[in-house]
Amino acid sequence: MFTVSDSQRTFISFFIFGLLNNILYVIILSAAIDLVGPSTPKAIVLLADIIPSFTIKLLSPFFIHLIPYVFRVYALIILSSSGMLLLSLSSSGVILWKVFGIMLASFSCGLGEASFLQLTHFYDEDQSIGGFSSGTGGAGLLGSFLFMVMTNLLGIPVWIVLLMCAILPFGFIVTYFKVLPLPSHEYEALQEHEEEGVTLENGTIDVKTHVWETIQRIKPLVVPYMLPLTTVYISEYVINQGISPTLLFPLQELPNWLFSSYRDIYVVYGFLYQLGVFISRSSITFGIRIRHLYVLSLLQFINVIITLFQSIYDLPFGKIWLLLVLIFYEGLLGGASYVNTFKSVSEQVPKSQREFSMGCVSISDALGIVLAGCINWWLEIKLCDLQISRGRDWCSKGGSI
C-alpha cells in the first residue's frame, strides 16, 4: 500500500499554500482589462493588487507574532473569498468596488506569504521552503493558463470565472488541518522564544519600545537578504511591465499561429517569464543552490540594460527568438533569487530569530514591485513615444496591456 511520508506531506502542503496564495493575484492581473475596461489605466489594477500586500508585509513584523497561525488561515479565507465575490458580483461600471475587492485579495496574499514563510521555520526547510517557492511559481503558470482556457477557449463569462475562484481559498483550511503534518517538537519552545522580544510594561506592550526593538531586529537582514531580493524584483518588473510591452517586431516576420496581434507578443513574453520563474523556484528541491545573491541582482540589471537598448535602438536582437530566450532567462534569475534568499535566511539566521526573519524578508519582493511600478508609470510611455518618433507605432496598437 502506498504511503506518504511526513517529508512528502510537508512539501505537498507548502506547495498548495504557495499555489493558492498567489494564484488569485495572477488571475486578477490576467483579468485587468475585463475588470476596469480598455479606457482605464491597467496600472490601477497592478497597484491595487500589490500595495495592500506590501503594506501588510511591511507592518507584519510589529504585530503578526501575536496572531496564531490558525487565525491567520481563517483570515486568508475571509479576505480572499470576499475580494473575489466583490469582483465577480460588482456591476461593470462600478470600478470602486472592484478595486476594493482587488485590495482585499491583495491583503490576503501579503498576509499569506509572510505567514507561510514563517511557518517553514517549524518544518524541514528543504521541503517547506522548496514546496512553497515551487507553489508560488506554479501559480503564475496555472493562473494565467486557467484564465485563458476558461475565458478564451471555453467562453465562460469573466464574472463566473471570478466567482468560481472565490472557492479556491477554502483549500487553505483543508490543507492546514488534513494534509500538513504536525510541526517539529521544537515548535512550542521556539514560539515562546520568538515572543520574548515583546517588551511588557504593567502587563501591556510598550509600543514605542517594541517598535524600536523590532526595527533593530530588522536592520541586520537588510544588506545580506532584503536589498539583493528587492533589486532583482525592481529589475524584472521594470522589464516585465515597463520595457517588454515595447519589445515588438513586425507581425509579418512572425509565425501567425503564435502571434496574430501585437498583444500576443506581450502574452508570450509573460508565459516564458512565468515558466522560468516556476523552474527556478523549484530548483531548491533538486539541491541547486546559489549563495551569492548580489550576483543575481547584477545579472538581472544587465538584462534591464539589454532590453532598454533593444527598445530604443532595436539592438542587439534583429529577430524575436533570442529575445524570447532572454525573457525566459530573466524568469530563471527572478525565481532563483527568491528561493535562494529564503533558503539563505533559513541556513544563516539563528533559530531564535528565524521565524521573525522569514516574515521580514518577504517585504522585499513587494517593495521591488511597487518601486518598479512607479518607474514604469513614466518609462513605458517614454519608450513608446521614442519608438513612434522612429516610425514604429506598434506599441500604440495593443502591444501594451
pLDDT value at 192 more than 60? no
Q: Does residue 191 lie within any of the structural domains?
A: no
Domain's final residue, options 184, 217, 251? 184
Does 314 reside within a domain? Answer: yes
Residues 153 and 275 in one domain: no
**366 and 395 assigned to the same domain:** yes
pLDDT (0 to 100) of residue 197: 45
Is 80 exceeded by the pLDDT of residue 189?
A: no
- Which of 123, 153, 184 lies at the terminal end of a domain, its last residue? 184
Within a domain: residue 272? Answer: yes
278 and 136 assigned to the same domain:
no
Same-domain pairing of 242 and 96: no
Instruction: Tell me, yes or no, whether 230 and 161 share the same domain.
Output: no
Q: How confident is the model at residue 186 (pLDDT cuts 50, 70, 90)?
A: low
Structural domain contains residue 189: no
Where a domain ends, among 156, 184, 212?
A: 184
Q: Do 311 and 390 fall within a single domain? A: yes
Q: Give me the pLDDT at residue 36, please.
A: 67
- pLDDT of res. 134: 93
Does residue 229 lie within any of the structural domains? yes
Share of the chain above pLDDT 70, in %: 89
* Greatest mean pLDDT among 20-29, 105-114, 386-395: 105-114
Q: Using pLDDT thresholds of 50, 70 and 90, give the confidence band for residue 328.
A: very high
pLDDT of 232: 97
Q: Are 153 and 209 in a shared domain?
A: no
Mean pLDDT value across residues 97-109:
90
278 and 396 housed in the same domain: yes
Q: Look up the CATH number of the domain holding residue 118.
A: 1.20.1250.20
Confidence of residue 47 (pLDDT cuts 50, 70, 90): confident
Reply yes or no on whether the pLDDT at 9 is more than 90.
yes
Q: Is the pLDDT of residue 398 over 60?
A: no
Number of structural domains in the chain: 2
pLDDT of residue 89: 85
Mean pLDDT check: name the lowest of 176-190, 211-225, 279-293, 362-376: 176-190
Is position 85 within any domain? yes
Structure confidence at residue 39 as a pLDDT band (50, 70, 90): low
The answer on 252 and 365 residing in a single domain is yes
pLDDT at position 184 is 62
Predicted confidence (pLDDT) at residue 23 exceeds the cutoff of 90: yes
CATH of the domain at 277: 1.20.1250
By mean pLDDT, which of 78-82, 120-124, 170-174 is the weakest? Answer: 120-124
Higher pLDDT, 282 or 191: 282
**What's the rounded mean pLDDT across residues 147-175?**
88
% of the chain with per-residue pLDDT over 90: 50
Domain that holds residue 329: 200-401
Lowest mean pLDDT among 4-13, 40-49, 152-161, 339-348: 40-49
Contact residues for 230 (Cβ-Cβ < 8 A; gap 6+):
364, 365, 367, 368, 371
> Does residue 244 sit within a domain?
yes
Q: Are residues 147 and 258 in the same domain?
A: no
Comparing 288 with 199, which gets the higher pLDDT? 288
Structure-block grid coordinates of residue 365: 519582493
* pLDDT in the model for residue 81: 95
Q: Is residue 288's pLDDT more than 90?
A: no
Answer whether residue 220 is part of any domain: yes
pLDDT at 204: 59
Shared-domain flag, residues 210 and 179: no
For residue 366, CA distances in Å to 21, 49, 53 come to 14, 10, 7
Same domain? 216 vs 363: yes
Give pLDDT, residue 166: 93
Per-residue model confidence (pLDDT) at position 339: 94
The 10s digit of each residue's pLDDT in 143-158 is 888 887 888 778 888 8
Would the pTM count as exceeding 0.85? no
